[in-house]
Chain A
């Protein structure tokens, strides 16, 4: 059965690493999401650079676009920066995908809240995942399901409370000491 590709996988410019920083950042986030979702679904734990260029993940034959080797490296390095992968060895030919468990993410999010004075404060989930103040955090743009799982881990430990806004669909969270 073929993989259920996201819409942006069929957009040609998606396969050109954008020269404008702001746009590139968003693009790399989308790439990371795709790599993680794809590898998880196909149960792939390693990506070999020498073979990557031919993989359907980075090569969309239908629209005749693919990521160059250089571009693949950029995507993988971003993945590594986010803590979702690491080079297997010094030769930097292979990376291993690392899926963080919700508990790990919970601790990372809670640490951020503590370090930035958000204990006993309320944030919206949107602010945490996509807002200006968390742009450089590892959990920025984190898959929403994983994010909510992480928050519920914090709830279980009594370190946070998640609630839903009455009038809109927005979720908020309050962190406790």
Chain B
């Protein structure tokens, strides 16, 4: 065969070679995909066997449950994704989070008139545990956050907000702007009680601005007012421990 130039014969030979390569390439890719599928299937089977074996632990132990969730996430399996099917039946996990979600909604609803729809995560957990009773499955903060993310998907308006190291759950659609958040964060640093002059001192705001932020927080029910001292005090229920206790 002459190596110089392409020529018509050369072109068709190249084409044939290309076609052959394409076919081989395709076969290789298919093989690779199949391999991965088999690997995944095996992995999934192992995971399912694991879940069967440790079903009790998963149900009873919040820490174990969290680890299991992370394992599933690492291969892209979400036991919470559906209420039907293998996972839900095996673990009762799907229902667990749905039930928890309903309980969260209940507690937030009941306390809304006291704290305006903003509640500290620790208070929320306490409220839910009380509702569930001592015989129910134990829950962790991780469980609550997962249930909330499930609720979010349903468009419930639930949001987790962090002030410093403390997490709060906002269950109302109220938008808290920068000013409101700053006042709330200040209140958090001051054990849940503020005066207007404290705010003015801290942020060097105009009187009107502080007044407006406080009025909004008050009207949303996130703060209560005490008019009896020299200067009015603003108390934030969600920042005060045991506010909800009788």
Q: Which residues of A contact B (CB under 8 A)?
A: 6-8, 11-13, 15-16, 18-20, 22-23, 25-27, 64-65, 126, 130, 167-170
Within the complex, the shortest CB–CB distance from A127 to chain B, in Å, comes to 9
Residues of chain B contacted by A7 (CB below 8 angstroms)? 242-243, 245-246
A-contact bits for B222-246, CB 8 A (1 contact / 0 none): 0011111100010100001011011
A167 to B132 alpha-carbon distance, docked (Å): 8
A11's partner among B106, B130, B131, B235 (CB-CB below 8 A) is B235
Q: How far is the CA of A130 from the CA of B106 in the complex (A)?
A: 10
Separation of A8 and B246 alpha carbons in the complex (Å):
7
**Interface pair B113/A23, CB less than 8 Å apart:** yes
**Cross-interface CB contact of A169 among B133, B219, B227, B233, cutoff 8 Å:** B133
Given contacts A11-B243, A16-B228, A168-B132, 14 further A-B contacts (CB under 8 A): A6-B245, A13-B226, A13-B235, A15-B226, A15-B228, A16-B224, A18-B224, A18-B225, A20-B221, A23-B116, A25-B113, A26-B114, A167-B99, A170-B131
Residue B110 CB within 8 A of the other chain: yes
Contact for A13 among B99, B116, B136, B225, CB less than 8 A: B225
Q: How far is the CA of A13 from the CA of B242 in the complex (A)?
A: 15
Residues of A within 8 A of B233 (CB): 12-13
Give the chain B neighbours of A26 by CB distance below 8 A. Answer: 113-114
Asked if B132 contacts A169 (CB within 8 A), the reply is yes
Q: For this complex, into which size category does the number of interface residues on chain B fall? A: 20 to 34
Residue picked from B113, B132, B233, most chain A C-beta under 10 Å: B113
Q: Which residues in A have their C-beta under 8 angstroms from that of B225?
A: 13, 16, 18-19
Task: Report if A16-B246 is in contact (Cβ < 8 Å); known contacts: A26-B113, A167-B99, A169-B131.
Answer: no
> In the complex, what residue of chain B is closest to A170 when comparing beta carbons?
B131
With a cutoff of 8 Å between Cβ atoms, the chain A residues found around residue B99 in the complex are 167-168
B94-143: which have CB < 8 Å to A? 99, 103, 106, 110, 113-114, 116, 130-133, 136
B160 at interface (Cβ–Cβ under 8 A)? no
Q: Give every chain B residue within 8 A of A64 (Cβ-Cβ).
A: 228
**Interface flag for B185 (CB, 8 Å):** no
Cα-based distance from A87 to B136 in the complex (angstroms)? 47
CA A169 – CA B219 in complex, angstroms?
A: 33
Contact yes or no, A16 B221, CB < 8 A: no
Chain A residues with Cβ under 8 A from B242's Cβ? Answer: 7
Residue of A nearest to B228 (CB): A65
